[in-house]
Amino acid sequence: MSDCLFCKIVSGAIPSKKVYEDETSYAFSDIHPQAPTHVLLVPRKHIASLDHADAADTALLGELMATATKLAATLGLGKGYRVVINTGADGGQTVDHLHLHLLGGRAMSWPPG
């Protein structure tokens, strides 16, 4: 997707602070961090949102979850962390490329805003 911000970040066309990468995913620091650790984990494949993932993406979604837990450990979030996938307008999604927010380094409150 040539006009997608996160596709451009994955390809390196737009710079980012890389945290991790493998064959299926890329992780980078959020430009407006909401916690001491705020990483975005995105699939290299363009999927517009969680709502746009289909049955063929099931393994990819599982891999992203597993990668998020590995990243949390690597980043020292042993006290806990939060994984968020904002989806659609009411979900607060602002970038239309599926992404997991990995937030940690402070105690989170509930319910979210």
**Of 6 and 28, CB closest to Zn ion:** 6
**What are the structure tokens assigned to 44, written together?**
């290299």
Q: Which of residues 28-47 bind ligand 5GP (CB under 6 A)?
A: 28-32, 40
Q: Which string of x and - marks every residue 45-84 that binds ligand 5GP (by CB under 6 A)?
A: ----------------------------------------
Which span sits near ligand 5GP by CB under 6 A: 18-26, 27-35, 63-71, 105-113? 27-35
**Of 64 and 75, CB closest to Zn ion:** 64
Chosen residue from 48, 65, 83, 95 binding ligand 5GP by CB under 6 A: 95
Annotated catalytic residue 99? yes
Give the whole-angstrom CA distance, residue 40 versus residue 98. Answer: 10
Asked if the peptide bond before residue 36 counts as cis, ω within 30 degrees of 0, the response is no
Binding site for ligand 5GP (CB under 6 A): 5, 16, 28-32, 40, 86, 92-95
